[in-house]
Amino acid sequence: MRLTRFVLPLALLAASAGTAFARPVTYVCDPAHTHPSFAADHMGGLSIWRGIFTKTSCTIVLDRQAHTGTVQVTVDTASDDFGEAQLDKDARGPQLLDVAKYPTATYVGHLADFKNGSPTRVIGTFTLHGVTRPLTLIIRQFECKELSFMHQYRCGADAFAEFNRAHYGITFGRSMGFQMWVRLHIQVEAVRQG
């Protein structure tokens, strides 16, 4: 009888603890450690131009036990940085990013194909230059850990996708032989909230 009175509350406590850990957790991206970078063809294979966007915000909701989650990313398109001031300015103009008309690019998706509690893909839609199309990100690395010196719990990832910019209405250079592919890499670190 005494054993039953002890075991039953313990079992209920364990069950409630499991439920508590199964809740979705929200993470907000650290803008100092989150930078989408890109690579694009120049002059039909003559060289490859690379750059980053320096202003990005994002929110990730993750439930590792349920193998679910969502991602929302907003990029300030005027924050492009090729490491060459004139090219930065040209890219913001109407022939490419047209930042006056399209000041942001967005990605919305859900985390998928979890392995060992970590997602390996994000399936979603990418909006660029006023056009929204499906785009899947491949997650090459995903890690969550406590950073005691910062008093924070963070998750970080490295993700990759490739798309055709002509599908988003950005065709500058095509008549000169420019290839239309763009390779997108995203490094992200996000801080657990609450």
pLDDT in tens, 38-58: 999 999 999 999 999 999 999
> Is the pLDDT reported for residue 18 higher than 50?
no
pLDDT tens digits, one per residue of 103-149: 999 999 999 999 999 999 999 999 999 999 999 999 999 999 999 99
User: How far is 80 from 190, CA to CA, in rounded Å?
Assistant: 21
Domains of the chain: 23-192 (2.40.128.110)
pTM of the model: 0.86
- pLDDT for 194 equals 83
> Is the pLDDT reported for residue 10 higher than 70?
no
| 127: its two tokens | 């909006």
User: How far is 104 from 167, CA to CA, in rounded Å?
Assistant: 17
